[in-house]
Amino acid sequence: MPDIDDATPAPATPDSPDGGSPRRGIKSFVVRAGRMGSGQVKALAELGPKFVLPFQAGQRLDTAAVFGREAPVVFEIGFGMGDATAKIAQTLADHDFIGCEVHEPGVGALLKHIEEKQLGNVRIFQHDAVEVLEQMIAPASLAGVHIYFPDPWHKKRHNKRRLIQPEFVAKLVQHIRPGGYLHCATDWEPYAQQMLEVLGAEALLENTAAGYAEKPSYRPLTKFENRGLKLGHGVWDLVFRRRPLV
C-alpha cells in the first residue's frame, strides 16, 4: 500500500506513529510484518526469479527486452495482494504492467495470480516505487500510472505522510509520456479532496473529468471496496492526463 514514510525503516503498521524520527524523504510504502502462506512461499521461490525484477540503481529498464515486445507500459504503485493488478492485466492484454510492492505476501500472491491466469504481461519490483521511478524508469516512457487506495493516514498530524503530495506528483509526471494518464482511487473523501487539489495544481496534468471521474471499466471492484459500497461508503476515482508537448 503506497505511502510516505518519514520513520526509520523498521517494521511498522499503517497507523503506528513515527516516534519523532527525522524526515527521510518520499517513500511509497510502510514496511509491515505479514504471514506468508505456503502457496505464496512456493510462488516466490519458483516464479520470483522470472517475474520479480532486480532493482539496479542508475540502470534504465529496457521494457521491450523484459517483456519481449513493444507495448504501452503501465506502472502501479502498491498493488497490495495483486487481485486488481492481475484482472487489469488480463483485461488489457495489449499493455504491459510493472507493479511495485514491498509487502512480501502481496508479491507472492500476485505471482500466484500470474501463474493461474498465465499472465506474461506483468513484472514486479519488490522495492520502493519512488526509487524505481527515479533510478530505472526513463522520462516520458509510461503510458499510465495506477495508484489505488493508498494509505490515507487518517489522523491530521500524519497527513504529511500521504503519497499524493506536490513534490511527488511533480517527479512522477516526468515519467508519463504526453497523452499518458495517472489514475488514482481512494475510499477516504478527505484524501480524495487532497488528490484533486494536488493533481489539479500540477501544470503538466489536465483532468479528464469535471472533478472526480467515473470508475474506468478496466478497474475491477475489490472485495473490500464492494463491502464498503454496500455499507454506503464512497469511492473516488481521479484520472488525469499528461498534457501534450507544446
Task: For residue 77, give the nearest of 101, 55, 102, 111 by alpha carbon.
Answer: 101
User: Considering 5, 151, 187, 237, which one is annotated as catalytic?
Assistant: 151
Task: For residue 242, give the nearest of 145, 136, 97, 100 by alpha carbon.
Answer: 145
The Cα–Cα gap between 211 and 207 comes to 7
Q: Which residues pair with 145 in a beta bridge?
A: 75, 182
Task: For residue 126, give the nearest of 113, 107, 143 by alpha carbon.
Answer: 107
151 is catalytic: yes
Helix (H) / strand (E) containing 223: helix 223-230
Helix (H) / strand (E) containing 186: strand 176-186
Q: What angle do CA 131, 184, 218 make, to 5 degrees?
A: 110
Q: Dihedral sign, CA of 59, 62, 63, 68? A: negative
DSSP 15-55: T---TTPPP----S------PPPHHHHHHHHHHHHHHBPPP
Active-site residue numbers?
A: 151
